Amino acid sequence: MSEVSVQSQVTVQSDDQKSSSTLPDVTIRYLNLNAVIKQTESQVDRTMKTVPQFVYENLKAIPNALLGTKLPTTDLKVLDNVSGCIKPGTLTLVLAPPGAGKTTLLKAMANRTDGLAFKIDGKVTYNGLDKTAVDARHCNLGQLVQYVDQLDLHLPYLTVEETLLFAARNSLAEADEAAVMKRVNETIDLLHLGNCRKTVVGDDLLRGISGGEKKKANSC
């Protein structure tokens, strides 16, 4: 399951500057979110297909693919006038069947709508400010709210410590190396990754850390 994580009360301090910047608790409100996609009849049909039905439908689609004929489409509402509020310090569970729009809703809340094949209408605010107002205040929205993909994307040959170090160096660009390393150690302690900090992350071809440990490393 994909997740949206809301950062709260995160303090970044540089040993040289002796100054800190505390991010506020974030309340996400979404109002009248709507999303409509165009799908063919076979894509809209969610019933479980038997093997003969699956083979038949794919064979039937071959002539259209060869001739370049576009199949008739129908509008499918992924989000239908959805509104709600996510408060800091709370956990919200989103349950729905596959294709019901869970990922679309989470991406809308995290402002990860670039690259989608359809448009999401409606309004999303963070402490009452929309994305434009957040940018106008020179605030990085990615530091306030993050969308964690269902599939973890990592460099498999890096260790957990190296992965977190890479993330910290990019997010704390103006901090010195001591402050960066301090943040890495704090993160490892917070997420209980001490036992695997020197273990490579791994992938399908390289054995590494567990799926739960990858999810923790992916949330940083």
| Predicted local confidence at residue 19, as pLDDT | 39
Question: What pLDDT digit, counting tens, does each position of 139-157 carry?
Answer: 888 878 888 777 777 889 9
| Predicted local confidence at residue 62, as pLDDT | 79
For residue 63, the SS3 value is helix
Which residues are CB-neighbours of 218 under 8 A, at least 6 positions away?
148, 149, 152, 153, 154
Which DSSP symbol is given to 55? Answer: H
Which DSSP symbol is given to 50? Answer: P
Q: What order do you get walking across the sheet with 120-126 strand by strand? A: 73-86, 28-40, 120-126
> What's the sign of the alpha-carbon dihedral 134, 130, 26, 168?
negative
CA-wise closest residue to 28 among 141, 120, 169: 141
pTM score: 0.59
| Predicted local confidence at residue 7, as pLDDT | 47
CA-wise closest residue to 15 among 164, 174, 184, 171: 174
Q: What percent of the chain has pLDDT over 90?
A: 21
Specify whether the CB–CB gap between 146 and 5 falls below 8 A.
yes
The DSSP string of 130-176 is: -HHHHHHTT--GGGTEEEEPSS----TTSBHHHHHHHHHHHHSTTS-
In degrees and rounded to multiples of 5, residue 67 shows phi and psi of -85, -10
Question: What pLDDT digit, counting tens, does each position of 19-58 carry?
Answer: 345 667 889 999 999 988 776 665 555 666 788 877 877 7
| Predicted local confidence at residue 197, as pLDDT | 92
Q: What is the pLDDT along the chain (220 residues), one digit of tens a residue?
A: 555 544 443 333 333 443 345 667 889 999 999 988 776 665 555 666 788 877 877 777 777 777 776 766 677 788 889 999 999 888 889 888 877 888 889 989 988 887 777 888 899 999 998 988 988 888 888 878 888 777 777 889 999 999 999 988 888 877 888 989 999 999 999 989 999 999 999 988 899 998 888 888 876 6
Alpha carbon distances (Å) from 57 to 49, 53, 65, 98: 10, 6, 12, 21
| Predicted local confidence at residue 15, as pLDDT | 38
In the chain, how long is the greatest CA-to-CA distance? 69
| Predicted local confidence at residue 47, as pLDDT | 65
208 vs 159: CA distance, rounded Å = 9
